Structure 1
Amino acid sequence: MTAGATHHAAQPLRIALLTYKGNPFCGGQGVYVRHLSRELARLGHSVEVIGAQPYPVLDAEALGGSLDGGVTLTELASLDLYRQPDPFRTPGWREYRDWIDALEVATMWTGGFPEPLTFSLRARRHLAARRGEFDIVHDNQTLGYGLLGGTGAIGAPLVTTIHHPITVDRRLDLDAAAGWKRRASVRRWYGFTAMQKRVARRLPAVLTVSGSSRQEIIDDLAVPEDRIHVVHIGADTRLFSPDPSVPEVPGRIVTTSSADVPLKGLVHLVDALAKLRTEHPEAHLVVVGRRADDGPVAAAIERYGLAGAVEFVKGISDAELVGLVRGAQIACVPSLYEGFSLPAAEAMATGTPLVATTGGAIPEVAGPDGETCLAVPPGDAGALADALGRLLDDAGLRRRLGAAGRERVLSRFTWEQAAIGTVERYRAAIEAQGPTPAPTLRTKAEAPC
């Protein structure tokens, strides 16, 4: 009997999957929710995704009820203060519904980021009103005060995924900030990380996506190590797969990155491209992500005269993304740090050879240098240029690394394996909880923060 069949035989679970940021085209959290919810449904479980704006985009197959379980979406509206084309907007007075809305606006006005706290408070209220409808609540890195209080507060045992501590992003953004005003602004924006630290320490069960992230959670958030469990995520290997009929575009290097996020290391890849083109003038970069009009990346592109050699694409479909990666001669992950690196796993799944840094958990995903990828130190543009040039010069090496990379993903990093491992942690949390206690009236002093 397969692992999947074993889990089918067990009692299906009713799962509430919370995500305060669910956009699958911007960051890993939305990708996680989309693929995990689908695979949980394939295993026969019932999944209700409860999310705020930008609302999650879930698989049509899962939403259509054709899977064994099923996935539904409940929209838990915020004031959506950061929506385009009017981010940091001031809502009209008719938009305010309650004190949580007022708190959301006040936090934004004072330079903070309110969404983890305000979503957690709305989620607590919503779950309390639906007590008994779920066997498990799975929080996707909200880490807000509203989720404290155990089963008595939210009606079911809680499991929380921390992809990596946001304190890492804060540290790197502070390092990149120029001037005391910018550093003060960064500190204020990341004020919510103090809450996330306090909440994380009180969580009964934490999932994370890599051994590297596990160590960061222990070091940065002081979560006891016996409460943290690694469940690797992965690529959608049905979608991200090789297709020999897609022609390679000579010199194409593809990467996934937000131009203005220092963590992603895109400026170092632009520096490397400038060096690379002295010997490989056909080399060019396709960036899946938003172009920044100013900042270090834009300045580097202008300085090197690379406007015609760096293309940004955003809002593309899954099929278009797969086609882009299949047609590339090289995929590159230049990040200074990653808690997992889905782009690495997805590129490897297509059979596209990978050049990646050794930042954070990337080596766990990409594997040994020279076997499943070419690995370089983070922040080293010269090493990046050398590795890219080596691959462009050697078709045999590209084929060997591409084939070995796909085999590594198939054996270790698929969403089905992620769902099976996650369900094991759900059942452990339910067993640890024991019988669900009857709801009790809380005093004013016990009310949520």
Structure 2
Amino acid sequence: MQAKQAFTVAELATTLTDIAPTTATVNQGNAPLKICLLGYRSQPYGGGQGIYIKYLSKALVEAGHEVDVISGQPYPHVDPRVKLIKMPGMNLFETGLGSLNFSHLRSMTNIIEWTGKLTGGFSEPRCFGRRVFKYLKAHGRHYDIIHDNQCLSWGMLKLQKKGFPLVTTIHHPITSDLQIALNAAKDWKARLFIRRWHSFLTMQKKVAKRLNHLVTVSESAQQDIASAFSLKPAGISLVYNGIDTEEFRPMSSIAKKPFRIMATASADAPLKGVRYLLEAVAELAKQYPRLELLMVGKLQAGGATERLIKRLKLTERITFVSGISTEQLVAHYAEAQVVVVPSVYEGFGLPAGEAMACGVPVVSTDGGALPEVVGDAGVIVPAKNSQAIATAVADLLDNVDKREAMSLAGRQRIENLFCWKRTAKQMTDYYSQVLEKKNNYANG
């Protein structure tokens, strides 16, 4: 894995220019394309994949393209100009195994999904791929590009074999999630369950090796995917994620809440490093009696995070919110004096970018791609180091001038380097390269 780097704005601007796909001759002038984005589960509250679908589809429409999104449940929030084609599965993670009825047994895909859940596996990507292949084979020949959002299923290989121009985004290798979860497991039974749930990785590794057009969202992810899936980094193209700088913006009309810090993370996912944030809050509370933490994410009742909160006596200091609108999220950012991103690993780091776009000072770990996003416009500390988080947050709480300078620098960095308009342009250029290769092959 490459050493972590904190790029300056100038350095990263040069890097982005160097790595951006060149405009291909097949689509000179970026003529409008008919694009189909695929997501096996795409609700933005569920994580980065849903956010990617929401904002990439919007940015591509604003760039003049026609965009359809095909998604399984939970469905994405899309711009009114984007057509949503619902591809329902059994949605067993919400409805439970008891939802099976006789009609479901008429479908082999449903049987695969149900038995996968019954045995502790995660079959959604595989089953979504089966459903999408069947649908697109019958109804998808009018699309110029099919863009898979990390499904990496056998169905994607079948689409490619049938001649569909397919692009696949891999945000980061789920092998990272697996290893971090195994390290955090309390006993062999938990490790067995974790390995079974992640068994879909066997499929994804095999599929990734056979796909022709892979793209990822950071240099860190590019190296990690290559290592985890036994690929060459040069065979994975790079198009950075964007941040919607119109939605995520400073709100000067909202007053800061003194000693309010904020984080956006899945509370019980070891990958997100919430444990280290909570330990830092417990340490900071000794110096700042009024300190409070707002967590955007769900707290699992009786889970490890809830037990840690009680053990550290932080129950009265922490508020959890979930299922909120983007406008509510932006308002919460406006109230915070500092945002902490405690992740052990991030393929990109959308929470850091969103906070910076809102003009909030950020303390981030060096996990995965976070240094690429935060750069010199935030404070970067070692991952899995609660004392380093506490020290960095205390420094910002004590220094209003530093907070104000970081607020301006963070907003400028996101506007200059990570807006979705730039992402859409680079992705369109990449699509053009894919189409040029396809045409050259067809013409001999």
TM over 0.5: yes
| Distance (whole Å) between structure 1 residues aligned to residue 252 and residue 333 of structure 2 | 12
Q: Is the 8 A contact 1:265 1:335 kept in 2?
A: yes
Aligned: 1:20 with 2:40? yes
Q: Is the 8 A contact 1:267 1:296 kept in 2?
A: no
Aligned: 1:384 with 2:395? no
* Equivalent of residue 401 in structure 2, options 396, 416, 420: 396
> What does 1:6-405 correspond to in 2, within 5 Å?
9-59=29-79, 63=80, 65=81, 71-83=82-94, 86-149=95-158, 151-153=160-162, 155-368=163-376, 372-405=377-410
Deviation at 1:231, TM superposition (A): 0.5
Higher RCO, 1 vs 2 (CA within 8 Å, ≥6 residues apart): 2
Which residues of structure 1 form unaligned runs of 5+?
A: 66-70, 439-449
TM-score (ref. length: structure 2):
0.91
Deviation at 1:330, TM superposition (A): 0.3
SS at match of 1:10: coil
- 1:77-103 residue CA offsets vs partner (Å, 9 max, x unmatched): 1111111xx434441112344111111
| Distance (whole Å) between structure 1 residues aligned to residue 331 and residue 161 of structure 2 | 48
Q: Is the 8 A contact 2:226 2:232 kept in 1?
A: yes
Q: Is the 8 A contact 2:104 2:111 kept in 1?
A: no
Q: Is the 8 A contact 2:30 2:428 kept in 1?
A: no
Question: What amino acid is the match of 1:14?
Answer: K
Compute the RMSD of aligned alpha carbons: 1.8
Deviation at 1:320, TM superposition (A): 0.7
| Distance (whole Å) between structure 1 residues aligned to residue 427 and residue 97 of structure 2 | 36
Which residues of structure 2 form unaligned runs of 5+?
A: 1-19
Count of residues paired in the alignment: 419
| Distance (whole Å) between structure 2 residues aligned to residue 416 and residue 109 of structure 1 | 43
Deviation at 1:333, TM superposition (A): 0.2
Question: What amino acid is the match of 2:66?
Answer: S
Q: Is the 8 A contact 1:151 1:436 kept in 2?
A: no
Question: What amino acid is the match of 1:148?
Answer: L
- 1:289-314 residue CA offsets vs partner (Å, 9 max, x unmatched): 00122233212211121111010001
Flag the 1:331–1:89 CA change in 2: closer, same or farther, 3 A.
farther
Deviation at 1:30, TM superposition (A): 0.6
Q: Is the 8 A contact 1:251 1:284 kept in 2?
A: yes
| Distance (whole Å) between structure 2 residues aligned to residue 88 and residue 35 of structure 1 | 33
- 1:345-402 residue CA offsets vs partner (Å, 9 max, x unmatched): 000001100001011100000113xxx1111111111111111111111100100111
Question: What amino acid is the match of 1:143?
Answer: L
Deviation at 1:192, TM superposition (A): 0.2
Q: Counterpart of 1:409? A: 414
- 1:225-283 residue CA offsets vs partner (Å, 9 max, x unmatched): 23211111121100111122211100111100111100001111111001001111111
Deviation at 1:109, TM superposition (A): 1.4
Question: What amino acid is the match of 1:295?
Answer: G
Flag the 1:139–1:29 CA change in 2: closer, same or farther, 3 A.
same
Q: Is the 8 A contact 1:156 1:436 kept in 2?
A: no
Tell me the percent identity: 41
| Distance (whole Å) between structure 2 residues aligned to residue 289 and residue 74 of structure 1 | 28
Q: Is the 8 A contact 1:336 1:357 kept in 2?
A: yes
Flag the 1:100–1:436 CA change in 2: closer, same or farther, 3 A.
farther
- 1:106-130 residue CA offsets vs partner (Å, 9 max, x unmatched): 1111221101111111111111112
Flag the 1:184–1:234 CA change in 2: closer, same or farther, 3 A.
same
Q: Counterpart of 1:446? A: none
More helix by share: 2
